[in-house]
Amino acid sequence: MAPRVFVLNGVNLGTLGRRRPEVYGTLTLNDIEKLLRDEFPEVEFEFRQTDHEGEMVGFIREAAESSGLAINPGAWTHYSYALHDALETLDVPKVEVHLSNVHAREEWRRRSVVSPAVDAVVVGMGALGYQAAVAYLLSRSDRR
């Protein structure tokens, strides 16, 4: 059975490729999805993006029966205890992904309320961070 991996993108990530390309790069979410499908053809991906926090909580719950979850919460990283709590309930490997190095940016971006509810965090690798996250998830799901 093919591994099933959820890749969830939060608020404002639907504007990738147009929004501050000097910070977030020029790839769109569609480009990142293609990159992942090409790199991991054996994986059944569920790609989702939303600007609505409650909808994201629903996406996280859907991932409960998956091989793992990679999430870029966007700005919700810094204040969404709802996402933290939803992630905390999942018994699958979880990775928080950020395209930019949030630790080298504004002070308020350096704190994540999501990080304590995930197994790993990838920052500052651009789109390659998603590849690293999926590779990690696959290695963890093999051990389960």
**Residues ≥6 apart with Cβ < 8 Å to 69:** 5, 6, 7, 8, 60, 63, 87, 90, 92, 93, 94, 95, 137
Q: Can you give the residue ranges of every domain in the chain?
A: 4-143
Q: Which fold, 4-143?
A: Rossmann fold (3.40.50)
The predicted model scores a pTM of: 0.90
Is 24 labeled as catalytic in the residue annotation?
A: yes
Among 24, 84, 130, 136, the active-site one is: 24
Q: What is the pLDDT of residues 24-73, one digit of tens each?
A: 567 899 999 999 999 999 999 999 999 999 999 999 999 999 999 999 99
Is 136 labeled as catalytic in the residue annotation?
A: no
Q: What is the pLDDT of residues 98-143, one digit of tens each?
A: 987 766 566 766 688 999 999 999 999 889 999 999 999 999 976 5
Residue 10 burial by CB count (10 A; 0-12/13-18/19+): exposed, middle or buried?
Answer: buried
pLDDT of residue 79: 84
pLDDT of residue 78: 87
CB atoms inside a 10 Å sphere around CB 37: 12
Task: Tell me the two tokens of residue 115.
Answer: 């990080």
Among 84, 98, 130, 136, the active-site one is: 98
